[in-house]
Amino acid sequence: MYPLAHLAASLQMNEVYHGDRFSAAAGAIVPDLIDKTLGWVLGITPSGRYAAHSLAGATALTLATVGLAGPRRGVSFGASYLCHLVGDLWEGGHVPWLMPFRKYACSERRWNLGITSRAVLLELGGMVLLARLTARWVARGKP
């Protein structure tokens, strides 16, 4: 779980197609917000990557966003959501793409709280990219 890297990658991608920033930011963090809360905090699901980390979860939440907030925000949300899932493949991570249509072996592994040099570099890269994006938005007069 690299929240700053997820956020930075999603917002940078969002800049390319001039989508809605708030929806893009939400799509970047919602999969972890749902699955980590259900799995690690509440103990309801067996893993920190569960239903919200699937294509079915992405589709359902994107369609809900389109219905509630409109197509422009829905596209920004959905594109960032998929960017998050692809980002989770970093360093050999797994994503249960076809859940609930396919069973996946769930690991009881929890997020490794040990700080690795790769994690630090990835999050620092995310911070630098977020700072550059923010500076660009401020310069344009749209923070």
pLDDT digits (tens, 9 = 90+) for 40-81: 889 888 878 889 999 999 999 999 999 999 999 999 999 999
70-94 pLDDT, tens digit each: 999 999 999 999 999 999 887 677 8
CB-side exposure of 59: number of CA atoms within 13 Å? 7
- The range of the structural domain enclosing residue 84 comes to 3-140
Q: By the 8 A CB rule, do 63 and 74 touch?
A: yes
Calculate the CA 139 to chain-centre distance: 27
Q: How far apart are CA 100 and CA 49, in angstroms?
A: 13
Instruction: Give the total number of structural domains in the chain.
Output: 1
